[in-house]
Structure 1
Amino acid sequence: MKIWGKLLINNRIVKDKVVLFDEDKNYEDNLKNSILEICKEFDIEIPYWLPSNEKEYAVRKKTIFTQDNFIDEFKFDKFIIEEIDLDDK
């Protein structure tokens, strides 16, 4: 599995990164570590998971973070994470 992180401004991807899961770790640890790595690469704070994000990710394996998920102001419109299969991207 992979997690694909994207920063969007005006519906255009300005930054993206794909992180591979470590087969020796469980799913939750992999997801957490992937998000941490992507946020560090993008130089953004770690977003808060709201109930709507949890529901969306559980159903679609994708969620969109907006200003509501961050304390600090940011210069992008959306931060998206999406689980992709190894055969994708």
Structure 2
Amino acid sequence: MDGKVLKADTYTSDKEDMSAALLDGLEHFSKEFDIEVPMWHTAHTKQLGLFRKVMFKQDDFIDKFPYDKFEMQIIDQ
């Protein structure tokens, strides 16, 4: 899709546990962007730990994924 941002959204979770907040965010964005919840792999945990950002590609979805990638970033308030 030529590297263009097609959709963007911000979400604040009320969960205190980071794992629960991530799942909460993934579920929110999946509904908002009409995509399935992607599979979470060890590589995603490493990305999140290093960069506070995680990127999902077609291989992380069971069904056809309509975008080049899906990124989720942790923003501290």
Runs of 4+ in 1 over 2 A off after TM superposition: none
Aligned pairs (5 A) from 1:3-82? 9-22=1-14, 25-82=16-73
Identify which of structures 1 and 2 has the higher relative contact order when contacts are C-alpha pairs closer than 8 Å and 6+ apart.
Answer: 1
The one-letter code of the counterpart of 1:12 is: K
Identity %: 32
Deviations 1:12-37 (A, max 9, x none): 11011110121x53222111111100
Q: CA RMSD in A?
A: 1.3
Structure that is richer in strand per residue: 1
In structure 1, list runs of 5 or more residues that go unmatched.
1-8
In structure 2, list runs of 5 or more residues that go unmatched.
none
Aligned equivalents of 1:27 and 1:54: distance in 2?
12
Q: Does 1:85 align with 2:73?
A: no
Aligned equivalents of 2:25 and 2:61: distance in 1?
18
Aligned equivalents of 2:40 and 2:21: distance in 1?
16
Aligned equivalents of 1:25 and 1:38: distance in 2?
19
Aligned equivalents of 1:54 and 1:69: distance in 2?
13
Aligned equivalents of 1:27 and 1:51: distance in 2?
16
Structure that is richer in helix per residue: 2
Aligned length: 77
